[in-house]
Amino acid sequence: MNVRNIREHFPILNTKVYGKNLVYFDNAATSQRPDTVIEKWNWLTSEYNANIHRGVHRLAEVATDEYETTRDVVRDFLNAESREEIVFTSGTTASINLVAFSFGEAFVKEGDEIIVSEAEHHSNIVPWQMLCSRKNAVLKVLRVDDNGYFNLDELESLITDRTRIVAVTQISNVLGIVNPVGDIVRICHEHNVPVLIDGAQGVVHGGIDVRKVDCDFYAFSGHKMYAATGVGVLYGKRKWLDAMPPYMGGGEMISSVKFSGTTYADTPEKFEAGTQNFASVPTLKPAIEMLKMMEDDEIQSELNSVKEYLYKELTGNHNITLYGVPRGTFSKIPLFSFSVKGVHHEDLALILDKMGIAARSGQMCAEPVMDRFGVTGMIRISLAPYNTMEEAEYFIKSLDKAVSMLL
């Protein structure tokens, strides 16, 4: 198995952009979809488009089976203890909001404390701010150093007997640093504090064994791991999910509805109100199979070579400032956020686009990270195993050319 074999499964990689071969370096925003994911979605929508958990007719039975067997596949993928610990949502944002609301309703009172890190995506900041505003609780922040790393001693000092939950990213979508989530969970559990991990980037770069790490909640999106858009997962330990009230009310999350009162369904159904995304959820199955294919040693070796090449080229340019400097090869994923002296990130991204290169520019939905490093925005490239050394070399040449045009 090699990169060429993988690329054959992704039809969009044959696209031309302004007459140039597409170089897709924006995988941290959304990954591309393999043919198996596209085929799964097309098959369901063209042949078995029916609402789930309702009808007894054949279409509804097939759609329901596809949806529910996906729950089993995700359980195995995360090594969760039971399928009841897997809740389907619309994405990482929805998963975190669910916990912030439902956990907050059950366990957070006035004066209690929530801890997040400085390296978080807005989706793992704003829901907790909303909770703190609603409950008159306190939000505390774990800072990062100049290279983007947490100080775990500082984490321990932030925890008090009023700390109710710690929410941290497994891998920053800006810095690309792999955070020591196992150590974070251990420290928090020593103080009987549960931990939510934002796995939006981590799920596709190494994944997680939720029982080994022992996290209490884990959230991720399908569209960043080669599945369809509009689908996400929340893993939660059963003891927490059972104790949390529903996030939304409506069909299918109930056991009985009377005007005298409503009783809710068991976990996970009580968190899946209304019509679920029954066409997109099953695409997690072929997406997970693709992730497993990409774990091939040869493919990972090629990706690591590309990562090392880009790191060397970017850090070797005195006009470039790289944010998120790794302490070792395996402490950073193939994601590089940087700025170029005298060049606006938006201008640079626009020129690269004309060269066929899809890169991200701006704040990456992480304004506090920008504030930490004193910039208004950055440019980011993020790679997947289908990206090649040829693309990396073309990017460096194009970057040099674009910068020379702007200076």
Active site positions, annotated: 365
DSSP code of 245?
Answer: P
How far apart (Å, rounded) are the C-alpha atoms in residues 185 and 191?
10
How far apart (Å, rounded) are the C-alpha atoms in residues 98 and 246?
8
Alpha carbon 234 to its chain's center:
11
Secondary structure of residue 177 in the 3-state scheme: strand
Residue of 236, 28, 223, 31 whose CA lies nearest to 121: 28
Q: Which residue has the tokens 């006009």?
A: 319
Could you give phi then psi for residue 336, rounded to 5 degrees? -135, 115
Could you give phi then psi for residue 20, rounded to 5 degrees? -105, 155
How far apart (Å, rounded) are the C-alpha atoms in residues 364 and 366?
5
* Rg (alpha carbons) of the chain, rounded to whole number: 22
Q: How far apart are the first and last CA of the chain?
A: 43
**Helical H runs in 123-252?**
126-135, 152-158, 181-190, 210-213, 238-243
